[in-house]
Chain A
Amino acid sequence: MLFYEPLFVTFFLAFYALYLQATGALAKKCTLLLASALFYIWGEPVFVLVLLVSTAIDYALSFHLNKPTPERMRRLALAAGVAGNLGILVVYKYADFLIDNVNLALSPFGPHKIALLHPALPIGVSFVVFEKITYLVDTWRSVSRPAASFIDYCLFVLFFPKLLAGPILKYHEMKDQIAAPSAIEWSDLFDGFLRFARGIGRKLLIADPLGTFANQIFAADPATIGTGYAWLGLACFTLQIYFDFAGYSDMAIGLARTLGFRLKENFNSPYVSQLLTEFWRRWHISLTTWIRDYLYAPLGGNRRGEARTFVNLWICFLASGLWHGASWNFVLWGAYNGLFLTLDRLFLRDALQRCGAFIATSVTLFIVVIGWAIFRSEHTAHLAPFFAALFGTSTASTALEVPPEVPLALVIGAVVSLFPATRLYPALVRLHERHLWLRLITIALLLVIYILALARAFAVPFQPFVYFRF
């Protein structure tokens, strides 16, 4: 269920009218849990059972992760919990990828093949599994105690605003808000709504029109598209993936805020980064910090010398690539990022810092955009001809029809993404904080954006969020 579907709008309003009347913590949690469970059952009526059983196992294990339990038992419980959660990912997301590669490796030895399982990928499974792991690890690290009740933990897992595509919550950051949901103030309602309006505008008015054209380019035979179209398609995808995912995050953060919950930010103007390292501090922040806290740090981080730091970075980015999807393209994309992060540490950071902000931002953006070409290609065989089209070695001259809304969405998207890199931006932020009339204009603009986006949602077939696939 998408957050801007009439079905969601109708049920959310009805649910919110009820939720407002709940005063006690238990009543709030039960209402919220019921709504969250219904929301997930609607989309995943079968997988929800797997999720509930796995949630119950986590909860039971968490009582054996704390200090009074002997160390060996604690480690065993943690390993069982983490393995169980990763097992869900392996079965639903990677099984066919693994079988496919085993079949390929065994093909010289005979025609026998292992049959593919074709499991349907449950929506949000990659996000939920990572969140569940934070509960186990946080409890094991004694950063937090086991959840006060099973309801609390279920609510952490199923909390519907973040359920489908994050932001990936960490248990220790959410436990207090979940244990005692705060009373809703007017500011929660208004700020949450305005944040939601920004998100729906980003998704429907920028990401979706650009996505339609990007899909057309990436679905075409790269040998038939000219250099200009290849770059236009890639530029469209570069903005689509940002506005789509940041838009979803805005909607999730906004919805949670209307319910009195504060979620951490997931994006911070990533395309203005002057280094790839900086880009990864600004893009999908909840995943990057998850990898830092729950993978990079346990591997030793940068505490074991330069060579080991590079190895750790590569492991983390290969894992990040694989997290996005079971395909060699994503592994390659992870390796590509690992390579440039290594180069950043070796010399690129110093070189770019000497070049000035404009060149540093342009070079970083170029590296990111080329990375998106790897990310977006459906299979590795698409890459070579697509890069040939990008860098002008293809002779194709097929004319494609560019939908009329694409140029406008592209310009607005580029301006919005890159404006924070200009000197005007901090001045405008200060003015905005100082003058009420500017804030009122922003509110009016967001209201118009909300209406326009909702109008588009009713008229154009629904396009799911890019990150729902992961």
Chain B
Amino acid sequence: MNRLALSRPVNRLIVGALLALLPMLSAWNLMMPNRQVQIGPTLGGVTNEMPVNFSWSSIRDGSFQKAIANRLTEAFALRPILIRINNEIRLELFGELTAPHVVRGAKGQLIERTYLDD
């Protein structure tokens, strides 16, 4: 049998453990909100946390699922870097500013609107 074949239990175990890393990081981030592991730059925006209400009516109307999905999105370890990549590409390719309170000044400088308002 090929030593690298995925049919070998040890190989399956290694691949499984590697694949489980990301879900385990998400679980860690959910359980330890103060010691979260996030890959990428710190995000400036704040997301309103929806309360997780576990009841038959909240499951039926989908609000429970939505709240859980939002929590998991926040806890996803690669979220900061992925958002950064998206923002960078939108700015470079389309000149689009994704941050709501940022404007483009002279020579393409990015300025927070609050400074202008002051």
Q: Do they bind each other?
A: yes
Measured CB to CB, the residues of A under 8 A from B are: 1, 5-7, 9-11, 13-14, 16-18, 20-21, 23, 42-43, 45-46, 183-186, 189, 403-405, 408, 451-452, 454-460
Q: Check A458–B86 contact: CB distance below 8 A.
A: yes
Q: Check A458–B60 contact: CB distance below 8 A.
A: no
What is the minimal beta-carbon distance from A62 to any residue of chain B, in angstroms? 32
Q: What does the 1/0 interface line of B4-34 toward A look like (CB < 8 Å)?
A: 1111010011011101101100100000000
- In the assembled complex, which residues on chain B have CB atoms less than 8 Å from the CB atom of A10? 22-23, 26, 72, 76
Residue of A nearest to B85 (CB): A455
Q: Check A14–B82 contact: CB distance below 8 A.
A: no
Chain B, 68-118, CB within 8 A of any chain A CB: 68-69, 72-73, 76, 79, 82-83, 85-87, 89-90, 93-96, 98
A7-B85 contact, Cβ under 8 Å, with A13-B23, A17-B17, A458-B79? no
- In the assembled complex, which residues on chain A have CB atoms less than 8 Å from the CB atom of B4? 186
- In the assembled complex, which residues on chain A have CB atoms less than 8 Å from the CB atom of B79? 6, 458
Q: Check A5–B69 contact: CB distance below 8 A.
A: yes
Q: Please measure, in the bound complex, the distance between the C-alpha atom of A13 and the C-alpha atom of B86, giving whole angstroms.
A: 23
Q: List 7 A-B contacts (CB under 8 A).
A: A10-B23, A17-B16, A18-B16, A42-B65, A404-B96, A451-B82, A459-B87
Q: Check B22–A13 contact: CB distance below 8 A.
A: yes
Q: Check A405–B94 contact: CB distance below 8 A.
A: yes
- In the assembled complex, which residues on chain A have CB atoms less than 8 Å from the CB atom of B98? 459
User: Which of these, A6, A186, A451, contacts B69 with CB under 8 Å?
Assistant: A6
A456-B86 contact, Cβ under 8 Å, with A6-B69, A10-B26, A42-B65? yes
B59 proximal to A (CB < 8 A): yes
Q: Please measure, in the bound complex, the distance between the C-alpha atom of A408 and the C-alpha atom of B89, giving whole angstroms.
A: 13
| Interface of chain A, main secondary structure | helix
Q: What does the 1/0 interface line of B39-79 toward A look like (CB < 8 Å)?
A: 00000000000000000000110000100110011001001
Interface size class of B (residues with CB under 8 A): 35 or more
Q: Please measure, in the bound complex, the distance between the C-alpha atom of A6 and the C-alpha atom of B27, giving whole angstroms.
A: 13
Q: Please measure, in the bound complex, the distance between the C-alpha atom of A335 and the C-alpha atom of B72, giving whole angstroms.
A: 46
Residue of A nearest to B88 (CB): A455
Residue of B nearest to A23 (CB): B9
Q: Please measure, in the bound complex, the distance between the C-alpha atom of A9 and the C-alpha atom of B93, giving whole angstroms.
A: 27
What is the minimal beta-carbon distance from B86 to any residue of chain A, in angstroms? 4
Q: Check B82–A189 contact: CB distance below 8 A.
A: no
What is the minimal beta-carbon distance from B96 to any residue of chain A, in angstroms? 6
Residue of A nearest to B4 (CB): A186
Residue of A nearest to B25 (CB): A10
A13-B82 contact, Cβ under 8 Å, with A7-B72, A404-B95? no
- In the assembled complex, which residues on chain B have CB atoms less than 8 Å from the CB atom of A451? 82, 85
User: Which of these, A17, A45, A404, contacts B20 with CB under 8 Å?
Assistant: A17
- In the assembled complex, which residues on chain B have CB atoms less than 8 Å from the CB atom of A9? 22, 76
A21-B13 contact, Cβ under 8 Å, with A14-B23, A452-B89? yes
What is the minimal beta-carbon distance from B68 to any residue of chain A, in angstroms? 7
- In the assembled complex, which residues on chain A have CB atoms less than 8 Å from the CB atom of B83? 455, 458-459
Q: Please measure, in the bound complex, the distance between the C-alpha atom of A42 and the C-alpha atom of B60, giving whole angstroms.
A: 9
- In the assembled complex, which residues on chain B have CB atoms less than 8 Å from the CB atom of A458? 73, 76, 79, 82-83, 86
User: Which of these, B9, B59, B72, B82, contacts A455 with CB under 8 Å?
Assistant: B82
- In the assembled complex, which residues on chain A have CB atoms less than 8 Å from the CB atom of B86? 452, 455-456, 458-460
Q: Check B23–A20 contact: CB distance below 8 A.
A: no
Q: Please measure, in the bound complex, the distance between the C-alpha atom of A45 and the C-alpha atom of B55, giving whole angstroms.
A: 12
What is the minimal beta-carbon distance from A119 to any residue of chain B, in angstroms? 14
Q: Check A45–B60 contact: CB distance below 8 A.
A: yes
Output the residue of B13, B19, B59, B73 with the most chain A CB within 10 A. Answer: B19
Q: Please measure, in the bound complex, the distance between the C-alpha atom of A457 and the C-alpha atom of B85, giving whole angstroms.
A: 11
User: Which of these, A46, A184, A403, A454, contacts B6 with CB under 8 Å?
Assistant: A184
- In the assembled complex, which residues on chain B have CB atoms less than 8 Å from the CB atom of A189? 6, 15
What is the minimal beta-carbon distance from A30 to any residue of chain B, in angstroms? 17
- In the assembled complex, which residues on chain A have CB atoms less than 8 Å from the CB atom of B20? 13-14, 17
What is the minimal beta-carbon distance from B20 to any residue of chain A, in angstroms? 4
- In the assembled complex, which residues on chain B have CB atoms less than 8 Å from the CB atom of A46? 60
- In the assembled complex, which residues on chain A have CB atoms less than 8 Å from the CB atom of B59? 45
**Which are the 4 A-B pairs with shortest beta-carbon distances?**
A17-B16, A404-B94, A455-B86, A14-B23
- In the assembled complex, which residues on chain B have CB atoms less than 8 Å from the CB atom of A17? 15-17, 19-20, 23
- In the assembled complex, which residues on chain B have CB atoms less than 8 Å from the CB atom of A452? 85-86, 89
Other A-B pairs beyond A20-B6, A458-B79, 7, CB < 8 Å:
A10-B22, A11-B23, A21-B9, A186-B6, A405-B94, A455-B86, A460-B86
